[in-house]
Structure 1
Amino acid sequence: MSYARRNQMSSNRTAAIIIVALIHIALGYALVTGLAYNVIKKAAEDLKTFDVEEEPPPPPEEPPPPPDQNTPPPPQIVAPPSIIKIDSPAPALVTTPNISPVVITPRAEAPTTKSCPGGMTVAIAQACPPVISQAAKAKGNLPSLFSTDDYPQSAIRNEEQGTTAVRLSIGPDGRVADCTVTSSSGSSSLDSATCNIIKRRARYSPAKDSSGNPTTGSDTTRIRWVLPEE
């Protein structure tokens, strides 16, 4: 760079520094003398006189919709169903063939008894008694087996008396195997005493079948009870 050019640049820089210094000095003087205050006040007044357009107010809000009311729906009109007429066919004639009446014959009841030899009838499930060629015979008179001492004391106290009829079953050994009251004297104690005494004391010649062998037989008797005299 040439010497002349350097001197010119140095001169320009010095001039710039001097100008900046003068500006600062002028500003400081203005502040001190109130010139700056007047300038600022004037700018504020200019700002006050500036018209500012106000924003238009917002539009009013729309009122809320009224609450829904339970309004019943309009009645529905239902058209009545149409009537369809159907011609039904005439019923067919049904002919009934001639049927012969059925006759039901009542079933004969099975017999419950059977006849045995000798004219005796027994139950169908019961065996017929053997044919007796000789009936059982008591050894002695049956009423003679009873005495005054055999009279039941309960019957005496109650003054009971009467006749007891019994049927006796005689075994092949000639003893009374069973005693059945066929007609009561009216006193249970007299009836019981009759069978008990005959079963203990009576003896028989047993019945015999057609072959002459001893077999079971039967007999009947009547015992009359009379209160003993005092």
Structure 2
Amino acid sequence: AKIVLLAPFEGRYREVGYNALYAARLAFADSGAQNIDLYPVDDGESPESAAQRAAAFNYEPTVKLIIVLGIDAADETVQEALAPLPTIIVGHWNSVPSFSHVVMLADPTIDERVSSFSSLTDAAEAEAPLVGDELLALQQLPLLREDLNGITVLSSAILPDAAFRARYGQGDPFAPQPGLLATLTYDATRLAIEVIQNETPLTEMHYDGINGSIAFENGYWMNAPLYEYIYRDGDLVPASPQ
């Protein structure tokens, strides 16, 4: 069986894919899963390309579940192309779970509170005060925007602690620093593995992870936590203690 990680591994947003990849690898190592493989796939840097790649998974009978990150991969056209494969969107990515096979690890109230950006460049040039989702948590934002005052990031993910950071790269010198969605990607991967092992529908699963208890209702994480983050000295930090 395969779990596909559909995310950007090339271009401007490649940090999203690689950040998720190392978290997913750690989840696999911790699970000790047998006969389940992680299959990273680049989204092709556009919703159209991601949708073409997504449609192909339905012709691969070993693919059992999809984990999605990034603006393009989370697009509604991609969600439709993935049907009926169970799909977990990790984070918000200016999207909604549009179909019954899709669940999203995000609080639905984020929709009402964030500004909508089509790209990180748009976000970097927007006037403060600025409220956004995980797009504003990317590690390249401080390189694109000199003044980070007045930026608030909303997410259901908790930042990795020291113990998670120490295990994250597993000694790989090329491993990035774990970003905001690393722990949530870890939880999504452990959840996906349990779905396959237990032969339980994704929408009926309950999983207790680093980010708390995860179950789904109407496509969203039921009773999802919601955290606010701000930038301090160029680093993303909780706006209040977690």
Category of TM-score, reference length = shorter chain: under 0.3
Report which structure shows greater RCO (CA 8 Å, sep ≥6).
Answer: 2
Instruction: Tell me the TM-score normalized by structure 2.
Output: 0.17
Larger radius of gyration: 1
